[in-house]
Amino acid sequence: MKIGFIGFGNMAQALADGLLLKKAVRPEEIYVCAKHWEKLAANAAVRGVNPCRTAAEAAEKSDMVVAAVKPYLVSEVLEPIKGILRDRIVVSVAAGMPYDSYEEILAPGTHHISTVPNTPVSIGEGIIVCEQKNSLTEEEYSRFEELFSRIAVVVAVQTSQLGVAGNLSGCGPAFAAMFIEALSDGAVKHGLPRELSYRLASQMMAGTGKMQQALGTHPGAMKDAVCSPGGLTIKGVAALERGGFRGAVISAMDAVEGD
């Protein structure tokens, strides 16, 4: 499948990097366009993909077109090429642009789906939340899912859940990175070298997440399994509770949801 990226910023690059890393597509099967040609050409050259001067060119050469411009630019960029897009699979990665928004922009009959990926797609360990409401055929959705499941867990949610699911998976890496950094700071304070502390904290986060997925265990049960009576871990847990750890995390989700 030939894939065109309209907009080649951080998220589009992350998707392209993941697809190339997992050999889901070849470099010559990716076409990219963006506003600033010199920057685009440099980013394309690093990956061996095809830079295009215009959105129309990228769309013409592709089977699937990924709309990866800022939400406020979607209409301006896609409107002139909606005739081309009518014969393509259109995948949106623009936050806050669900199915109904694209129905007002694209030509009637265009097959499209709205998604919210997160940055770990770049290493093939991402999440792509997609809206259940879409106009892909069953075959097209299967192709979409087969392609992107190479680099992410693909989860379909109702339109009303798209925002919160996207925020959890999209903003979550920043929150997780802050926890890794803070945990490392604490270890460095007590004598562990910085590089080693980052390595251990990161692997701990990755391993814990994978264990929870593999076992399907309630996170509270996983915590209890590590907390021996009167032991070190429960003392650390108590310190986190005194510091309002859970409340702070919930408040972070409230903030990104606008509550």
The string of pLDDT tens digits covering residues 143-180 is 999 999 999 999 999 999 999 999 999 999 999 999 99
Query: Distance between CA 78 and CA 38 in Å, rounded?
Result: 22
pTM as predicted:
0.91
pLDDT of 259 above 80: no
What is the sign of the dihedral through the CA atoms of 149, 151, 152 and 153? positive
Question: Could you give the domains of the chain?
Answer: 3-157 (3.40.50.720), 166-257 (1.10.3730.10)
**Summary mean pLDDT of the chain:** 96
Token pair 């030509």 is found at 107
Per-residue confidence (pLDDT) for residue 65, from 0 to 100: 98
Per-residue confidence (pLDDT) for residue 9, from 0 to 100: 95
pLDDT of 70 above 80: yes
Q: Are 130 and 156 in contact (CB under 8 A)?
A: yes
Summarised one tens digit per residue, pLDDT across range 9-20 is: 999 999 999 999
Average pLDDT over residues 92-119: 96
Going by C-alpha positions, the residue among 140, 133, 149 that lies closest to residue 101 is 133
Per-residue confidence (pLDDT) for residue 5, from 0 to 100: 98
List 6's β-bridge partners, or say none: 33, 67
Query: Distance between CA 142 and CA 154 in Å, rounded?
Result: 11
CB-based burial of residue 176 (10 Å sphere; 0-12 exposed, 13-18 middle, 19+ buried)?
middle
Summarised one tens digit per residue, pLDDT across range 176-215 is: 999 999 999 999 999 999 999 999 999 999 999 999 999 9
Per-residue confidence (pLDDT) for residue 153, from 0 to 100: 96
Start-to-end C-alpha separation, the chain: 41
